Structure 1
Amino acid sequence: MHGSEDKDDRHSTPPTDQRSKLLLRVMFSLAIVGMMVGLMIGRLTTPDPSVLQQVEVTADGLVVWFNNEPKTHGELIDGTVALLFDAQGKTARGQLKLNDKDVNWRLRLTDKGLLLTLLAARPLKGEWAGSEVDDRWRLEIHLQEQ
């Protein structure tokens, strides 16, 4: 026994095992396939993001249409009505008449979604309610002067 050569398999050096390298490759391949299947299932079960489709002016407020129901947070801040939608869309602005007085509305993008603000010369009160109509989400905003 002068060395660890493999002459006739009688020495103390064990033969090299090819299965350990193949087992590692198989396990790694299974892990990648499992991750890809999980990503595909997650992608299929994720709901579509809410998107603003249109804004309509009514006699006493606005009607805002979305493709599906967004998370909505609304507040009355110092006579201003502010609604934050967890949705995507374009910025817009406009004006409506409430008791023959102007009310300005503005829709802008923020880092948390779309922010709709309604502002008039006099303090406003607002109520809003949403419902599903024709596979779309309709949010009605009714305004009053304080």
Structure 2
Amino acid sequence: MHGSEGKDERHSTPPADFRSKLFLRVMGSLAIVGVMVGLMIGRLTTPDPTELQQVEVTGDGLVVWFNNEPKVHGEIVDGSVALLFGAEGKAQKGQLKINDKDVNWRVRLSDGGLLLTLVAARPLQGDWAGSEVGDRWRLEIHLREQ
């Protein structure tokens, strides 16, 4: 072994790599572009978060407006009506009258979303129904004395 020249590739000289060193850069660039395009498509297909837009007082209850349909879980607990919405919004409160008697309502933030509670001095019963009106979602809450 006199030197390291490559004669018939029988000595310690490694064989020449004929692949271009740019191959790894091209593959890395394609991977980055693919991830970025996937993130953009995912961002475009994600629906808007559900938001509480307004609360209106009616003759026998409330009308609650959302930008799209929320998940709703409602219960009547000890004479008060509680509705949990899978939505975002700001805390609000107000008062309405059922048979000339006061009913207090309050929207507050909770771990599961927005919690709407309706409380009066006497036990309440309530039912609610939602429907799509235009491009918004309306939930009507009707209250009555127990």
TM-score (norm 2): 0.89
Q: Give the gaps of 5 or more residues in structure 1.
A: none
Secondary structure of the residue aligned to 1:26 is helix
Written as runs of structure 1 = structure 2, the 5 A alignment for 1:86-105 is 86-105=86-105
- In the other structure, the counterpart of 2:126 is 126
User: Matches of 1:107 and 1:132 in 2, distance apart?
Assistant: 21
Tell me by how many angstroms 1:105 deviates: 0.3
- In the other structure, the counterpart of 2:30 is 30
Secondary structure of the residue aligned to 1:19 is coil
Q: Give the gaps of 5 or more residues in structure 2.
A: none
Tell me by how many angstroms 1:16 deviates: 4.3
Secondary structure of the residue aligned to 2:90 is coil
State the one-letter code of the partner of 1:63. V
TM-score (norm 1): 0.89
Q: Over residues 64-113 of structure 1, what are the superposed CA-to-partner deviations in whole Å (9 max), with x where a residue is unaligned?
A: 01111111111111111111111111100001001111111000011221
User: Matches of 1:58 and 1:46 in 2, distance apart?
Assistant: 34
User: Matches of 2:143 and 2:19 in 1, distance apart?
Assistant: 75
Written as runs of structure 1 = structure 2, the 5 A alignment for 1:6-85 is 7=5, 9-10=6-7, 12=11, 13-17=13-17, 19=19, 21-85=21-85
User: Matches of 2:14 and 2:23 in 1, distance apart?
Assistant: 19
RMSD: 1.7
User: Matches of 1:127 and 1:63 in 2, distance apart?
Assistant: 12
Percent identical across equivalent pairs? 78
Range with bigger deviation, 18-27 or 99-108: 18-27
